[in-house]
């Protein structure tokens, strides 16, 4: 299909691939981007229609391949029939014969336990920035030195200072709304003259209610020691416009940032891709699934990447499939932390029986996520959630401290979405009041919402709903996971996608260090509600829940943050890492990997700012 020779071949058109293509294209490099999914849409209207018609407003509900849970299961296109299947929330946790294990014919990710991996991603031009929240926090300096400072996990082979200039470039590219003064209490290493591209987004009434906690100190107990935590609420740096910027409109508070911003006030990587294409040196080739990396045995250099071009998403073999070989001088994998190791493992051969770039045996290993402890309550006074971006502030002051020797750190996200994520509201409370009882497996306390089991209607129903909806508060504790070689992506020996390629198998657990973070989060949430005068409404795990674990005699629910990290980690030695500090493969000098898959430790921040910073750094290196 494509016989040209390029300076650089990139696999993946998410934020990392888009930034690399733009910078290299501006320098006159001829760049080819292979994207497995659909290309840049002419507008977001088709995605908006999918979102509105889908009964579940989950992160993937707006995007192709369209899988609507409103359809009967037998009518859904199964992963074995799709050219580019991807994980979706409704399909992650269907109960199978062995507890949580999903039915293989329904779920793209084959969950092999002992716990389900609970995060998803997109396979389209722009990648997962289509459904991200927009959080653009930097990692803390200490996040790069977890092993050295606290004896836990792994260190990065680079420091915060080495990324500082690239963080600034990332924040300018995305367009970050924030105020430096409001971030310096945790991160005092900004360059003196630095300012964010635009002022911060206005905080919500929910944020102001939680701000009453500022200065509150609570003794967090772990390992028979007490560590005082001081709470301070701060606006969250966000990749959405507070003023017009980069030809994007100002945020209008549409409330559905996940899965889609209807007016493109929130950044997605198609903006950067369009800039890359305008250089005249970049070619974006969508619907091209990379499946094998060819290596010259004599030189050890990558000589090409084989791909399958498809014309029909469902039952692609009934359409047109063309085989191609993309060739260049330099190759970069930027296909996210599940598809990147999948490609490396798919590239097995007699010379490389464990896959390409895998002399260390670490490809696919050290899969991480920010596992979330979700807590929700009712505030004393109305806070009027369900307005504006889904989160505008957080509690970042508890991300760092000596407690990290004993338990995982976390940041606390303050939600403006009421109990939408936690309990499926506004629907769940409405059903509970109209029917007189909650729907099956609802995460609410009926003894609070409707203690007498009455069936409400008319003005009385409206009054009751308003009293509950306007007081709802949600807190999300994003708990770090250290690198664990057990947590990994492998290839299925039994199940394939519609192009005949092996699907990913996930082996996943949560270690005791992170579970100690859950113990702390539960305790802290209760203390915060009590200090605020709010009622804790968090419900315990249901008997048939698939997203739970038991620790120290107590059960905990856990959720995925959508932060898929690790699997091709960077390090200082070829014996225990996949790439070096320059993101270059230890095994193949012209192969690089960029994205969250190279993180050796995830730290306490959402990963997008760091992904973008690493992309700018690699572009400069090349």
Give me the residue spans of the domains in the chain: 5-55+126-200+237-368+562-621, 205-217+371-479+512-557
Q: Are 89 and 59 in contact (CB under 8 A)?
A: yes
Mean per-residue pLDDT over the chain, rounded: 93
* Nearest C-alpha neighbor of 472 from the set 412, 413, 429: 429
C-alpha span between 471 and 452 (Å, rounded): 20
pLDDT of amino acid 102 = 54
Q: Is 444 helix (H, G, I), strand (E, B) or coil?
A: coil
Q: How many Å apart are CA 56 and CA 205, to the nearest integer?
A: 27
* Span 449-493, pLDDT tens digits: 999 999 999 999 999 999 999 999 999 999 999 999 999 999 999
> Is the pLDDT at 126 greater than 60, yes or no?
yes
| pLDDT over 60 (residue 254) | yes
Quick: pLDDT tens for 286-321: 999 999 999 999 999 999 999 999 999 999 999 999
List Cβ neighbours of 43 (8 Å cut-off, separation of 6 or more): none
Residue 282 has pLDDT above 60, yes or no: yes
- Paired with 477 in beta bridges are 373, 412
Q: What is the pTM of this model?
A: 0.96
Q: Which are the contacts of 234, defined by CB distance < 8 A and separation ≥ 6? A: 182, 183, 185, 186, 393, 394, 395, 396, 397
Confidence tier at 90 by pLDDT (50, 70, 90): confident
415: helix, strand or coil: strand
Angle between helices 608-621 and 15-26 (to 10 degrees): 30
Q: Which residues touch 144 (CB under 8 Å, ≥6 apart)? A: 155, 156, 158, 159, 160, 601, 603
Beta strands per DSSP E along 379-453: 393-395, 410-415
493 vs 348: CA distance, rounded Å: 13
Which of 265, 200, 205 is closest to 237 using CA atoms?
Answer: 200
* Dist. CA 496–CA 577, nearest whole Å: 28
For residues 574 and 579, what is the distance between their CA atoms, to the nearest angstrom?
A: 7
pLDDT of 38: 96
Closest by CA position to 66, among listed 102, 37, 94: 37
Per-residue pLDDT tens over the stretch 191-228? 778 999 999 999 999 999 999 999 999 998 877 788 99
CA distance 332 to 69: 35
Give one DSSP letter per residue of 559-589, joined into a string: EE-S--B-SS-B-S-TTS-SB-TTSBBSS-T
* pLDDT on residue 191: 77
Lowest mean pLDDT among 101-110, 329-338, 554-563, 602-611: 101-110
Which of the following CATH numbers is that of domain 5-55+126-200+237-368+562-621: 2.160.10.10, 3.50.50.60, 3.30.1490.20, 3.20.10.10?
Answer: 3.50.50.60
- Percentage helix, strand, coil for the chain under 3-state DSSP, each rounded to 5: 25, 25, 50
CB atoms inside a 10 Å sphere around CB 441: 10
Stretch among 112-121, 288-297, 522-531 having the lowest mean pLDDT: 112-121
Residue 91 has pLDDT above 80, yes or no: no
Strands 393-395 and 233-235: what pairing? antiparallel
Q: Find all residues with CB under 8 Å of 393, minimum gap 6, and list them.
A: 203, 204, 207, 210, 211, 233, 234, 235, 236, 414
| CA–CA distances in Å: residue 320 to residues 66, 310, 312, 316, 497 | 20, 6, 7, 7, 16
In the chain, the percentage of residues whose pLDDT exceeds 90 is 85
| Alpha helix ranges (H) inside 247-288 | 270-278
Close Cβ partners of 181 (under 8 Å, ≥ 6 residues apart): none
More confident site: 241 or 76: 241
Residue 602 scores a pLDDT above 80 = yes
Which band of pLDDT confidence, cut at 50, 70 and 90, is reported for residue 103? low
Among 30-39, 90-99, 589-598, the range scoring the smallest mean pLDDT is 90-99
pLDDT at 75: 55
The Cα 579–Cα 571 span in angstroms is: 6
pLDDT-derived band at 360, boundaries 50, 70, 90: very high
In 105-224, beta strands by DSSP E: 110-114, 217-222
Rounded to whole angstroms, the Cα distance separating 61 from 206 reads 27
Q: 532 φ, ψ to 5°?
A: -80, -15
- Give the residue-averaged pLDDT of 20-24: 98
Q: What is the pLDDT of residue 73?
A: 45
CB-CB contact of 588 with 300 (8 Å)? yes
Predicted local confidence at residue 100, as pLDDT: 52
Predicted pLDDT of residue 186: 76
pLDDT at 440: 85
pLDDT at res. 93: 62
Helices (H) and strands (E) in the chain, counts: 14, 21
């Amino acid at each position: 299909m494509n016989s040209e020779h390029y300076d650089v071949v990139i696999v993946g058109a998410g934020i990392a691939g888009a930034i690399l293509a733009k910078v290299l294209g501006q320098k006159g490099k001829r760049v080819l981007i292979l994207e497995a999914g659909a290309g840049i849409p002419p507008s977001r209207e088709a995605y908006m229609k999918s979102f509105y018609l889908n009964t579940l407003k989950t992160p993937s509900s707006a995007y192709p391949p369209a899988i609507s849970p409103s359809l009967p299961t037998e009518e859904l296109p199964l992963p074995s029939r799709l050219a580019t299947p991807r994980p979706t929330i409704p399909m992650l946790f269907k109960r199978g014969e062995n507890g949580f294990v999903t039915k293989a014919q329904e779920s793209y990710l084959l969950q092999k336990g002992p716990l389900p991996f609970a995060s998803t991603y997109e396979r389209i031009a722009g990648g997962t920035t289509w459904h991200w929240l927009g959080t653009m926090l930097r990692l803390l300096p200490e996040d790069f030195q977890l092993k050295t400072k606290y004896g836990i996990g792994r260190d990065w082979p680079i420091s915060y200072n080495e990324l500082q200039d690239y963080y600034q470039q990332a924040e300018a590219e995305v367009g970050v709304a924030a105020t430096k003064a409001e971030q310096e209490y945790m991160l005092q290493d900004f360059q003196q003259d630095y300012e964010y591209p635009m002022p911060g987004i206005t905080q919500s009434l929910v944020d102001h209610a939680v701000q009453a906690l500022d200065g509150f100190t609570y003794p967090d107990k772990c390992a028979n020691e007490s560590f005082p935590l001081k709470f301070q609420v701060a606006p969250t740096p966000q990749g959405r416009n507070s003023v017009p910027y980069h030809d994007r409109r100002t945020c209008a508070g549409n409330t559905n940032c996940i899965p889609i911003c209807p007016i493109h006030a929130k950044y997605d990587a198609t903006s950067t891709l369009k800039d890359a294409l305008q250089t005249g040196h970049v070619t974006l080739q969508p619907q091209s699934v990379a499946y094998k990396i060819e290596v010259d045995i004599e030189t050890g250099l990558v000589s090409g990447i084989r791909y399958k071009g498809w014309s029909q998403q469902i039952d692609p073999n009934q359409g047109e499939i063309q085989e191609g070989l993309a060739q260049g001088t330099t190759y970069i994998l930027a296909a996210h932390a599940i598809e990147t190791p999948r490609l490396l493992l798919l590239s097995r051969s007699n010379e490389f029986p464990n896959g390409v770039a895998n002399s260390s045996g670490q490809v696919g290993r050290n899969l991480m996520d920010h596992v979330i402890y979700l807590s929700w309550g009712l505030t004393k006074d109305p806070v009027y959630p369900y307005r504006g971006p889904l989160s505008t502030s957080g509690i970042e002051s508890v991300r760092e401290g000596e407690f990290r020797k004993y338990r995982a750190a976390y940041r606390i996200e303050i939600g403006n979405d009421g109990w939408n994520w936690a309990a499926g509201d506004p629907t769940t409370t409405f059903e509970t009041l109209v029917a007189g009882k909650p729907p099956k497996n609802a995460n609410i306390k009926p003894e609070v919402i409707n203690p007498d089991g009455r069936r409400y209607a008319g003005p009385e129903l409206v009054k009751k709903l308003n009293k509950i909806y306007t007081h709802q508060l949600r807190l999300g504790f994003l708990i770090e996971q250290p690198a664990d070689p057990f947590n990994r992506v492998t290839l299925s020996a039994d199940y394939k996608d519609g192009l005949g390629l092996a699907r990913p198998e996930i082996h996943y657990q949560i270690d005791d260090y992170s579970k100690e973070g859950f113990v702390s989060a539960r305790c802290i949430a209760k203390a915060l509600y009590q200090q605020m005068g709010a009622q804790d409404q968090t419900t315990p795990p249901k008997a048939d829940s698939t997203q739970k674990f038991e620790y120290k005699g107590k059960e905990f629910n856990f959720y995925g943050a959508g932060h898929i990290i690790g699997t091709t980690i960077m390090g200082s030695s070829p014996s225990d890492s996949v790439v070096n500090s320059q993101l270059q493969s230890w095994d193949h000098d012209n192969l690089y990997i960029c994205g969250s898959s190279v993180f050796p430790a995830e730290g306490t921040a959402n990963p997008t700012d760091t992904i973008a910073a690493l992309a700018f750094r690699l572009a400069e290196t090349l």
